[in-house]
Amino acid sequence: MSISKPYLLFLGDVKDELAAKTAHGVLDWRPDWCLGQITLPGCQAHTSLPEMTVSEASEAGVRTMVIGCVNAGGVLPDHWIATIVAALNAGLDIAAGLHIQLGSIPAIAQAAEKNGGTLHDLRFTDVSFPTGKGENRSGKRLLTVGTDCSVGKKYAALALQQGMADRGLSSDFCATGQTGILIAERGIAIDSVISDFISGAAEHISPATKDDHWDVIEGQGSLLHPSYAGVSLGLLHGSQPDAFVVCHEPTRATMRGVATPIPTIQEIIDLTIRFGRLTNPDICCVGLAINTMMLSQNHAKNLIAELSEEHRLPATDPVRFGTDPIIDHMCAEFKLV
């Protein structure tokens, strides 16, 4: 995927920072690609970038406005359309990971045609996927799984892949969501794949490869989330992971968007092994990625130590404290050089 850079990150009028996780993700991992942000009245999320109008962004050299917001169902609110049209009229392209194609909205389609703008629909692909087969394939795979959605599965996967690459281990990051695709400039938005073909799409994105190569696959949702468990299970079966890392945000009482209580880490470990053995009998948990963003430094370190001891697994906050504990364990478990 080739999207013209640099970017203007559109945050809309989202009600919290998690709803702007696409904007934050792109900025955190590809800061050199981002020049500014644009918000609407009432927005409760902000990045470290300067606020710009579309005309200011165009004058500053921005090439694409990225819709940096996520919401249940991936919808496009009507009151966002005017800003998208204004961006196209200012000569910018648009990139969005919505469940609706930008060109299906007449005002946007007309503005794009009038100004020669390109509309990038990150969740749509021309590839046709087969159903998953569950057959053993060469290479190694690591999947990040979560006790909830939006707990850091993407960040953990990116950090782990970078940590492995720094040690000279052959590895790739496999994006399965809109933000990951923007960061990696490739991937499949697994939640937009028809349910029968989710496992097949996961097999496609992490195909047979050299025995010493690791595909680090970005997880989605949670096996116990009422809204997204189907996507999580299909991704688990298709990715056929040899190893998985459980991602957890310790300050939540209920899952995001629903009233369902957060499951325990052990429940997710047990379920992932139970269901994962369908396509990989040797699946194992190699660590815990604890999202401590809401905790003080001392509280975070103490909690990580407690969880590591409780589960007898290496634990860390991959972004705050690095990935060495988990990668060290993987090297020992899989006899990696």
Q: Is the pLDDT of residue 175 over 90?
A: yes
Alpha helices, DSSP H only, in the chain?
Answer: 21-29, 54-60, 81-89, 106-115, 153-166, 178-184, 198-205, 229-239, 265-276, 297-311, 324-333
Q: Tell me the domains of the chain and their CATH numbers.
A: 7-121 (3.40.50.720), 140-333 (3.40.50.300)
- The one-letter amino acid at 141: R
Residue listed under structure tokens 């705050």: 320
Region 74-90 average pLDDT: 94
pLDDT at 337: 73
* 32-80 per-position pLDDT tens digit: 999 999 999 999 999 999 999 999 999 999 999 999 998 777 789 999 9
Q: Is the dihedral of CA 279, 135, 205, 141 positive or negative?
A: positive
Q: Measure the CA dihedral 184/212/190/31, to 10°.
A: -20
How much is the pLDDT for 1?
72
pLDDT band at 156 (very low <50, low <70, confident <90, very high): very high
Our CA angle for 152, 187, 74, nearest 5°, is 65
In which order are the strands placed within the sheet that holds 214-217?
A: 171-174, 214-217, 140-146, 243-248, 284-290, 315-316
Closest by CA to 288, choosing from 147, 141, 140, 158, is 147
Which tens digit of pLDDT belongs to each residue from 215-266?
Answer: 999 999 999 999 999 999 999 999 999 999 999 999 999 999 999 999 999 9
Q: How does residue 26 score in pLDDT terms, banded at 50, 70 and 90?
A: very high
Q: For the segment 107-151, what is each residue's pLDDT rounded down to a tens digit? A: 999 999 999 999 999 999 888 999 999 999 999 999 999 999 999
Type of residue numbered 51: E
For residue 73, what pLDDT is reported? 74
Point out which residues pair with 290 in neighbouring strands.
248
> Which residues, in sequence order, are CB contacts of 252 under 8 Å at separation 6+?
148, 262
Torsion of CA 96, 10, 14, 23, to 10 degrees: 80
Structure confidence at residue 328 as a pLDDT band (50, 70, 90): very high
